Every structure is written in C-alpha cells, then in structure tokens.
Amino acid sequence: MKQQPQGITLELGDIEGVYSNLAVITHSPAEFIVDFARVMPGMSKAKVYARVIMTPQHAKLLFKALQDNIKKFEEKFGEVKFVGEPPTNIGFKK
C-alpha cells in the first residue's frame, strides 16, 4: 500500500522578514551558501543579513520552485522586467 505524503505546517513564531536586494552564491561539492545582503545606491559595501546553507539537492529544488513561482507570477501580473541591462555576473562569487 502506497503512503500519501504528509503536508507540512510552518510555524513562523516571532521571525521577521528581511529585505534583500543582493544575493551572493558560493558552493562546494557538499553545499550551496546563499548570502542575502542589502546594498544602498552609491555605496560600495553591502551588509549580509542572512545566510542560508543547503545541500546541492535542496538548492536545485529551490531553483525549480523559484522557476515555477516566477512563471505563475508572470502569467498573473506580466513579465518581470529589468531596468537597463541586467549584470551578467549577478549573484556569483568566484
């Protein structure tokens, strides 16, 4: 007999959302690290407000979930457009 997957209920408690307009992504064979930062116009420094570390498998699941949600968003609200030319190295750290 096949078991049905159980739903997950998320409890947020006192957690607050953090605004980020920059994500720096690094990786190793074992993990992906995403640093969420906020950079102010005209400033050369950005402060990291959150760091998320995940396995490559979870990173790929997040990637697919974001693709799916962006597609649904654009179907409902229209294409997400960039102001000017988007940088080609966005989010990557060598």
pLDDT of residue 82: 83
Q: Which amino acid is at 82?
A: F
Predicted TM-score (pTM) of the model is 0.75
User: What is the residue extent of each domain of the chain?
Assistant: 22-77
Question: Tens-of-pLDDT digits for all 94 residues of the chain?
Answer: 566 567 889 888 898 899 999 999 999 999 999 999 999 989 889 999 999 999 999 999 999 999 999 999 999 999 998 887 666 665 555 5
One-character DSSP codes across 6-33: PP-----TT------SEEEEEE-SS-EE
pLDDT of residue 11: 87
